[in-house]
Structure 1
Amino acid sequence: MTDIAEVLQADFALGEGPIWDARRKVVWFVDIKRHRLWHFDPANGSNSISDAPDQIGWVLPASNGQLLCGLKDGLYTFSPETSRFSKLMDVPGELPTNRLNDACTDRWGRVWFGSMDDGEDDKNGRFYVFDRGTITPSGPSGITITNGPAVNADSSRIYFTDSVNQKIMVADLDRENVGEASLFVDIAALFPEAFPDGPAVDSEGNVWTGLYNGSAAARFSPAGKLIETVELPAKNITKLCFGGPDLRTAFVTTARQGMSDQALADSPLSGSLLTFRVDVPGFEQAEAAL
């Protein structure tokens, strides 16, 4: 692992959800609290901002060339050509006090995502799967802040994060079923002051997680053993993705919301997009099937 760098200084309030777009060779990510969808092109350093209609929790490249986004009130499509958001559908049964927070695709193009209490107090969050126009509750429920999910390269395992309780869970996965989730890692036992945020899985099945309030990203083996900690010059590390030509550049989102002036002075890159190099590459994510 080498070369930690700030590649975009943007003062994100709550930067989240980086995803490598293999079709366009750019990174998409969001600033949830400022209702912004960002892109960053590592080849030339260019970037852009599109204003979303509401809080935007995640973005994924879709099979029709558009992007699929999770906003506070449901799923939207976004056209990179016109910068327009279009409402696709509501999430049945979701409370108006909840919002969508994080997501991934599996190898079949299904979209796994979570909801959470926008006030970060009540245990109203749960996980869902979106499969070609149908949304179904699937996975753990009764969670205050959901993060992930994330799947491994062959989509045989899926990881769910319960951030407030400092736990990452794992379940077996196939095209028809998701198994019962069990404990994968108790973050509190290793990083008592940190909260696991967005997870990502590399091509060997190792699980990375951002450590919110932990100034680091941690990598765990498929057996749940801590094998690497990368200290980063920002306090709140939210999520990383693997990108670049060899999928060995980690693009890392961070947050500065709620930080004091002194905390910002101590961690001045909080709210920036960071990168570092990894030894084990990621794998190309499937596009969301629409």
Structure 2
Amino acid sequence: MIISSTPAGADAVASQPQSIWGVGAILGEGPVWVARDAALWFVDIKDRRIHRFDPELGVGRSWDAPAQVGWIVPTDDGLFATGLQSGVHRFDPASGDFTLLHAPEAHLPGNRLNDAAVDPLGGLWFGSMDDAEEADSGRFYRLHKGVLVESGLARVSITNGPALSPHGRSLYHTDTLGKRIWRTRIADDGALHDTSLFVEIEEGAGYPDGPTVDAEGCLWTGLFAGWAARRYDPAGKLMTEVRFPVANVTKIAFGGADLSVGYATTARKGLTDRQLVEQPLAGDLFAFDPGVRGLPGPLAAIS
């Protein structure tokens, strides 16, 4: 089902984050700028919805998903791939139909897919997680032209990312509960080598959520329960912290014609009634001026 709505305040981008769509997501995640649509797509995992925001018109549209939906990315056939709890699906916005492509964890009904990114060759990297956020059952996978491979990276409870460096040679992947972001080298043959700790988030600063890499090779991460998003240089040095009026900042994306607009998804999940009153913008989609451009998003080659 398609639901149309008109968001509030979709005007000029401010240096400080401003709510541009009061969508009120329970767990907003996975923002991705889709150039062919000139629109930002993202999901609400717990409300089982896919959202599209058109910044020129200031209009948002939403589609119901048949299960928890962790991410959405554009594909080279003009459609989308989505990560539902039951596996990777093809999604057609025109019909609202979902078609199962791969079910990598059919034997783990307590797991769900959580976050994703596309490498320069069209390979779709995505992670899974324990929906109860307890067991270390989360894995990372790569899907390219119909071939699905488990990465072999260490299992964790909540995976986030991964994200790719501009040259596609480094894979950043997040252990959210462990508060660590790791970096792994991608060899010419696609094999992963030399995993090392990139950043560890200090106590009291929240949990690293979705990572994104900008055009200068710096990594941005949302901080769940941290009221902020951070930018780290390729050596892991903290460069920038952008403060938000909501606690749960989940992921940053870059959009607009020149990829100079920063977008952020946020979440209401885990907040008490009192906290929701104190954070009326929790779950909204935000925009801000990041002072840097993003990278063009490759199309996933999954068929």
TM-score (norm 2): 0.92
3-state DSSP class of the match of 1:218? strand
| Matched AA of 1:181 | T
Determine the C-alpha separation between the residues in 2 that align with 1:186 and 1:150.
Answer: 16
Determine the C-alpha separation between the residues in 2 that align with 1:173 and 1:44.
Answer: 40
3-state DSSP class of the match of 1:107? coil
- Cα displacement (A) at 1:139: 4.5
Q: Is the 8 A contact 1:36 1:50 kept in 2?
A: yes
| Matched AA of 1:214 | G
Among 27, 31, 34, the residue aligned to 2:40 = 27
3-state DSSP class of the match of 2:275? helix
3-state DSSP class of the match of 1:77? strand
Determine the C-alpha separation between the residues in 2 that align with 1:154 and 1:216.
Answer: 27
3-state DSSP class of the match of 1:49? strand
Determine the C-alpha separation between the residues in 1 that align with 2:97 and 2:283.
Answer: 25
1:284 corresponding residue in structure 2:
296
1:15 corresponding residue in structure 2:
28
| Matched AA of 1:30 | V
Do residues 149 (structure 1) and 162 (structure 2) align? yes
Alignment of 1:119-130 (within 5 A): 119-130=132-143
- Cα displacement (A) at 1:92: 5.0
Structure 1 window deviating more from structure 2 (178-187 vs 219-228): it is: 178-187
3-state DSSP class of the match of 2:199? strand
Do residues 182 (structure 1) and 196 (structure 2) align? yes
Structure 1 residues 92, 213: CA separation in 2 closer, same or farther (over 3 Å shift)? Answer: closer
| Matched AA of 2:221 | T
Q: Is the 8 A contact 2:105 2:111 kept in 1?
A: no
1:40 corresponding residue in structure 2:
53
- Cα displacement (A) at 1:180: 3.1
Do residues 225 (structure 1) and 237 (structure 2) align? yes
| Matched AA of 2:156 | I
Alignment of 1:160-171 (within 5 A): 160-171=173-184
Among 263, 272, 275, the residue aligned to 1:251 = 263
Q: Is the 8 A contact 1:194 1:212 kept in 2?
A: yes
| Matched AA of 2:267 | A
Moved over 3 A (4+): none
1:192 corresponding residue in structure 2:
204
1:188-231, Cα deviation, whole Å (9 max, x unpaired): 2xx53400000000001000000000010000000000010000
CA RMSD of aligned residues (A): 1.3
- Cα displacement (A) at 1:87: 1.2
1:274 corresponding residue in structure 2:
286
Do residues 69 (structure 1) and 54 (structure 2) align? no
- Cα displacement (A) at 1:259: 0.6
3-state DSSP class of the match of 2:151? strand
TM-score (norm 1): 0.96
- Cα displacement (A) at 1:154: 1.4
- Cα displacement (A) at 1:122: 0.5
Q: Is the 8 A contact 1:108 1:175 kept in 2?
A: no
Determine the C-alpha separation between the residues in 2 that align with 1:268 and 1:39.
Answer: 21
